[in-house]
Structure 1
Amino acid sequence: KPKEFVSDLAVIGIYYFKDVAVLKNELQSVLDNNIIHGGEYQINDGIKQMMAKGMKFVPGKVDEWMDCGNKDVTVETNSRMLGFLHNDGEHLIDYDVKSENSNIIPPCYIGKNVVLINATVGPNVSLGDGCHVQNTEIKNSLVQTHVHIKNAHLDNAMIGNHASFDGDFTSISIGDYSVLE
């Protein structure tokens, strides 16, 4: 953080490198020379070495930053991303989805080996691989992989991997391997 004004831009921790091998070599140099700041190796030291060798860095501009640090914003971000991908014509539903008496309302992402029985999914729902959804309505929700959901009406929900949910709750956030019955 310079004492004199340099820029009103901030580093948000997202980088794009055209040739990642160059960065890898510089980071190897950081490791080999045991360059440590704050008790750890820093990507900035590799980047500084690249700059010292005359490589150009161009700042990108982020029009909007959505912090996915809580359920509501994460679910909202998922919904917006689904909308962007759907509008771009991306195929978001795996061809192997097994659907029985079910309805999918776009935009939705539905992964591999998903089973839908008497379910309405969407809009704005992501279902990870291996999910089983039965007698359920889900909208505006993010569900990770290998989740079993039945008898539910979910809106603004986020469910972690390998969770099992049976119930009539609406706004939930449960983590990996959780069970609500």
Structure 2
Amino acid sequence: MKIIVPMAGRGSRLRPQSLTVPKPLIPVAGQPIVHRLVKDIAKVLKQPIDEIAFVLGDPAWFGDDVVASLEDLAKSLGAKASIYRQDKPLGTGHAIMCAEPSLSGPAVIAYADTLIRAEFDLDPQADSVIWTKQVENPEAYGVVKLNGNDEIVELVEKPADFVSDQAVIGIYYFKDVGVLKGKLQEILDENVMNGGEYQINDGIKRMMADGKIFKTGTVDEWMDCGNKNITIETNQRMLGFLQADAEEQLVADSVKLENSKIIEPCFIGENVVLKDATIGPFVSIGNDSTVENSTIKNSLIQTHTSIKNANLEDAMIGNNVKYDGKFTSVSIGDYSVLE
């Protein structure tokens, strides 16, 4: 089994957090988004992962440190890492085709801007499984249309009239991803574009027209990381899940507490110093950060950051930040100073 992860976008909706760190590498509940996504997919698949192919953008942005991080991720799952580049933002279908040498055999394609919680078995009769989430407002999403055998027969974008309440979340399984490759190559050769881009949906629709069987795999939780407020909410939900699972150590042994209190669930990284502080619930603090004379709730703080005299809630603060002030709901990018 392979996992293909297109992640070349810069994540402009998450600025300033994504100005210096690619969005998929921004930590949520202590781990980068793409790390959590790939690990959660591996759990659902319940079978060995042979290769993980990452489609990155410009090397000036996705540099050697990013590549090393992704290689370590693949190694932790017993898989080989393959690194590809998408030089131009020409759409989801184009991004997949950038990994053309890896497009053979069974594979999951997952776009690295979402997190999931799921427990289901892949249908062995299906040529493909499109992962979906039941939503209350399907008119705001791309949804699947099903026939009487619960097979997907159409993909409908933001339907004005009710089609189904199963929204497509951007994760797909293919029994043989080489079939999709062939259809996407046709799309490229014929220059078939939607919105000025080559789309995965156009390849999928051609597979459906050939009679390939598509089924749904419904996830229990679908968490976005599109902007600051949604990412903070995702951090909150993920911390709750991790506390319930009790599979990860959320507070490092090296944390130094001086007249401070942690209200769980929280993630507190290595060598964090908390002095005269109340932290939590639902706070993530990255390695080597210091919080002094502050109260922080429901917030994300990255690494090597110093927070003083703060009363923060619903805040997102980057790496190497110095913050001393009385603002409350803030979003501060890397290497900022507010004193």
Please tell me whether residue 17 in structure 1 is matched to residue 165 in structure 2.
no
Give the number of the structure whose alpha-carbon radius of gyration is greater.
1
**Aligned match of 1:121:** 279
Distance in 2 between residues matched to 1:53 and 1:130, nearest whole Å: 55
**Aligned match of 1:38:** 195
Which segment is superposed worse, 63-72 or 84-93? 63-72
Residues 1-181 of structure 1 mapped to structure 2, 5 A cutoff: 7-9=163-165, 11-17=167-173, 21-22=177-178, 25-26=181-182, 29-30=185-186, 33=189, 34-61=191-218, 71-93=228-250, 95=252, 97-101=254-258, 102-111=260-269, 113-118=270-275, 119-181=277-339
Contact 2:187/2:203, CA 8 A, preserved across alignment: no
Contact 1:139/1:154, CA 8 A, preserved across alignment: yes
1:44: Cα distance to partner?
A: 0.8
> What amino acid maps onto 2:301 in structure 1?
V
With structure 2 as the length reference, what TM-score do the two structures score?
A: 0.43
Distance in 1 between residues matched to 2:336 and 2:300, nearest whole Å: 15
What per-residue deviation string (whole Å, max 9, x for no partner) do you get for residues 126-170 of structure 1? 123443333333221122343321232222222233332112333
Which segment is superposed worse, 12-21 or 152-161? 12-21
Distance in 2 between residues matched to 1:61 and 1:13, nearest whole Å: 10
> What amino acid maps onto 1:39 in structure 2?
G
> What amino acid maps onto 1:168 in structure 2?
K
1:86: Cα distance to partner?
A: 0.8
Which segment is superposed worse, 5-14 or 123-132? 5-14
More strand by percentage: 2
Contact 2:309/2:325, CA 8 A, preserved across alignment: yes
> What amino acid maps onto 1:47 in structure 2?
I
1:62: Cα distance to partner?
A: 6.7
Structure 2 regions of 5+ residues with no counterpart?
A: 1-155
Contact 1:131/1:148, CA 8 A, preserved across alignment: yes
- Secondary structure of 2:335's counterpart equals coil
Which segment is superposed worse, 152-161 or 52-61? 52-61
- Change in 2 beyond 3 A, CA 1:115/1:128: closer
With structure 1 as the length reference, what TM-score do the two structures score?
A: 0.73
1:114: Cα distance to partner?
A: 4.1
- Secondary structure of 1:84's counterpart equals helix
Cα-Cα RMSD: 3.5
> What amino acid maps onto 1:169 in structure 2?
F
Count of residue pairs brought into register by the alignment: 179
What per-residue deviation string (whole Å, max 9, x for no partner) do you get for residues 88-125 of structure 1? 213242646431424332111233x3422313322111
Contact 2:292/2:308, CA 8 A, preserved across alignment: yes
> What amino acid maps onto 1:165 in structure 2?
Y
What per-residue deviation string (whole Å, max 9, x for no partner) do you get for residues 7-50 of structure 1? 23464442232558447634752565244333211111222233
Structure 1 regions of 5+ residues with no counterpart?
A: none
- Secondary structure of 1:162's counterpart equals coil
> What amino acid maps onto 1:170 in structure 2?
T
Percent of matched pairs sharing the same residue = 51
Q: Tell me: higher relative CO, structure 1 or 2? Use CA pairs within 8 A at least 6 residues apart.
A: 2
